[in-house]
Amino acid sequence: MKKIFALILMVGAFSCAQKEEVIDYTKMSDEERLKAATEIAQSIIMVDGHVDLPYRMKVGGFTLQREILDVSVRTPDGNFDFPRAKEGGLDAPFMSIYIPAGNQKTPGASKALADSLIRMTERLASTFPDKFAMAYSPADIEANFSKGLISLPMGMENGAGIEDDLANVAYFFQRGIRYITLTHGTDNLIGDASYDTTGTHGGLSPFGEEVVKEMNRVGIMVDLSHVSDNTFRDALAITKVPVIASHSSVRKFTPGFERNMSDELIQAMAKNGGVMMINFGGSFIDSAYAAGSAKVREHLVNYLAENNLSRTDSAFKAYAEAYAAANNPFPTVQRVADHFDHVKNLVGVDYIGLGSDFDGVGDSLPTGLKDVSMFPNLIAELLKRGYTKEDIEKICYKNIFRVWKAVEDYAANQ
């Protein structure tokens, strides 16, 4: 009897200890909360659904020579490199294999560019194996994380890379692509894009329907960022597995901006079991910034002409930076958190992820989220608003892993 009583006491003590471990981050000072957020970021896996490093490397002329572009060390520009990723706790940025819509005009050009950017990403991992590693599954990311390596999973931004050949879906799976954004800036053979008002297909094309089915079959996640609302609905009606939006934000804060997701689409995605990965770009976050940007651009174009300057002149760069800051202040990390709150309140925290669009949205990034080192600022803001550590884990990796594994499991049973 004494042994049983002692065991009951031990269980009770353990239960109390467990309860005591629950931390109320809302009662911390800002400094304490940021420290806690940094510790969380650096101790758990963090996945970002969309980082445009491959195209940045292409534009920068990536070679093995450090004087060109070496993101294994701190770089003076851009939003991503190894040291800053480690500081911010980013472990698995999806490398965007970005296909500009202009490539669609030349048969074969989209697939060729995709192959080139995939090779470039693989070269980054092979050149710096002590820092980066390729990743083709959640299991790969977990293994790389245990070794302190930054994983480089890949997603193809713009299904134009498939060209007009359904066999290329399986081809790109073999090349390592694990999601495909169905469209980009203009309608393509798969379906209609949010930025294009043409409405070529009225949603998914018949070919696009087959593409979605084939992506399900081989195990590539269907990414519905960039698609029109009709394409979004059509894809949800066809897919047999959860989908993602790798880098989209909430339309409520940007009325009329179809590139962001309406409440209807957010709810439909949640019903599908998918995950919406929030974009940090200023125009995605705040309509006031988007409107202000247009006015600033118009002023700066006139300023260039009036003063006979070019965009590369140092005098113009200094003026442009100062003018933009004074006339169109950047959104803040708090505004980004508003998007997370909206989705959480609408459908729950199980359907939210990170999709920064770092290296893809220029200098529009919010104050407090200018590069990958600053993820703890966002986490701290979410903790301040009552998000738990478990919530943060879901946002950082558990939600996207759930979707990814569901896609893997479905494909394995085909």
CA 4 to chain centre: 53
Tokens of 391: 């919530």
Q: Distance between CA 175 and CA 165 in Å, rounded? A: 16
Q: What is the pLDDT of residue 19?
A: 47
- Euclidean distance between CA atoms 376 and 42, whole angstroms: 9
Tokens of 380: 């701290």
Task: List, in order of start, the domains of the chain with CATH numbers.
Answer: 27-282+332-412 (3.20.20.140), 287-330 (no CATH)
pLDDT at 196: 96
Query: Which residue, chain included where needed, has tokens 């790969």?
Result: 140
CA angle, 282 then 285 then 286, to 5°: 85
Distance CA 146, CA 52 (A): 25
In DSSP terms, 134 is beta-bridged to: 152
The CA distance from 80 to 373, in Å, is: 8
Report the pLDDT value the prediction gives residue 17, as an integer from 0 to 100: 45
How many Cβ atoms from other residues are within 10 Å of residue 342's Cβ? 19
CA distance 339 to 249: 7
The parts of the chain modelled with pLDDT lower than 70 are 1-21, 61-68, 328
Total H helices, total E strands in the chain: 17, 10
pTM above 0.75, yes or no: yes
CB 411 within 8 A of CB 216: yes
Cβ neighbour number for residue 387 with a 10 Å cutoff: 22
SS3 1: coil
The Cα 354–Cα 148 span in angstroms is 20
**What pLDDT is stored for residue 28 in this prediction?**
96
Query: How many Å apart are CA 172 and CA 159, to the nearest integer?
Result: 11
Cα(180)–Cα(153) distance, rounded to whole angstroms?
A: 12
User: Which is nearest to 281 in space by CA: 361, 163, 377?
Assistant: 361
Helix, strand, or coil (residue 225): coil
Do residues 355 and 48 lie in contact, with contact meaning Cβ atoms separated by under 8 Å?
yes
pLDDT in tens, 215-253: 999 999 999 999 999 999 999 999 999 999 999 999 999
pLDDT confidence of residue 66: 42
* Angstrom distance (rounded) from CA 170 to CA 214: 8
Residue 250 bridge partners (DSSP): 261
